[in-house]
Amino acid sequence: MRKLLLIIIFFVSLVHATTLREMKFENTKLETVLKALSQVAELNVIFDPNVSADLQKPVSVSVHKPMPIREAINLILKEYGLIAVPVDTRVYRITKAGELTINVGALGEDQVRKIVGFLKERVSPSAEIVIDRTLGTIYIRDEEA
């Protein structure tokens, strides 16, 4: 484990405390990648028991241009159908993500805004709500529960 952390530290260098300059993981467990990134970002993570099988999956990740650490964590989580739900300002619970798509193509702009407002009141603080005006669709990604 100590050897692995030295390799991770070698590949992870910071511009400042919240930005990765470069990182590389080859065939490493998802759990190890998330723990390393959370250590660098000085965040605490709690893994939901229902994601234990997902955490054992091998991951290969390379970042060659500066990227915010939290963005890197979220991109990796999204790739594996997971989401980081804030417990407080420095603690995140990693759990399965659920996704929902709503077709709003026939609705006006005001109606779409009302729907988004309605959704924002009912999702977790970590939820992603994206409006694709071209397709007339609202995409919601939140905790599976």
- Do 7 and 59 lie in a common domain? yes
Q: Alpha carbon 106 to chain centroid distance?
A: 31
Q: In total, how many domains does the chain have?
A: 2
Please enumerate in sequence order all residues whose Cβ is within 8 A of that of 106, keeping only pairs 6 or more positions apart, or say none: 136
Q: What is the residue-level pLDDT of the chain in tens, covering all 145 positions? A: 444 443 444 444 433 357 777 778 888 899 998 998 888 888 899 998 888 888 999 988 888 888 888 888 888 888 888 888 877 777 888 888 888 888 888 888 898 888 888 888 878 777 888 888 888 888 888 877 6
pLDDT at position 3: 44
Q: Residue 36: which domain range?
A: 2-96
Same domain, 123 and 77: no
Assess contact for 135 and 105: CB atoms under 8 A.
yes
Question: Is 28 in a helix, a strand, or coil?
Answer: strand
pTM equals 0.68
Same domain, 10 and 73: yes
What pLDDT score was predicted for residue 6? 39
Provide the terminal-to-terminal Cα distance of the chain, rounded to the nearest Å.
Answer: 33
CATH code, domain with 10:
3.55.50.30
Which pLDDT does position 20 carry in this prediction? 76
91 and 102 belong to one structural domain: no
Same-domain status, 136 and 120:
yes
* pLDDT score of 145: 66
- What would the 3-class secondary structure string for 73-101 be? HHHHHHHCCEEEEEEECCEEEEEEEEEEE
Same domain for 28 and 44, yes or no, is yes
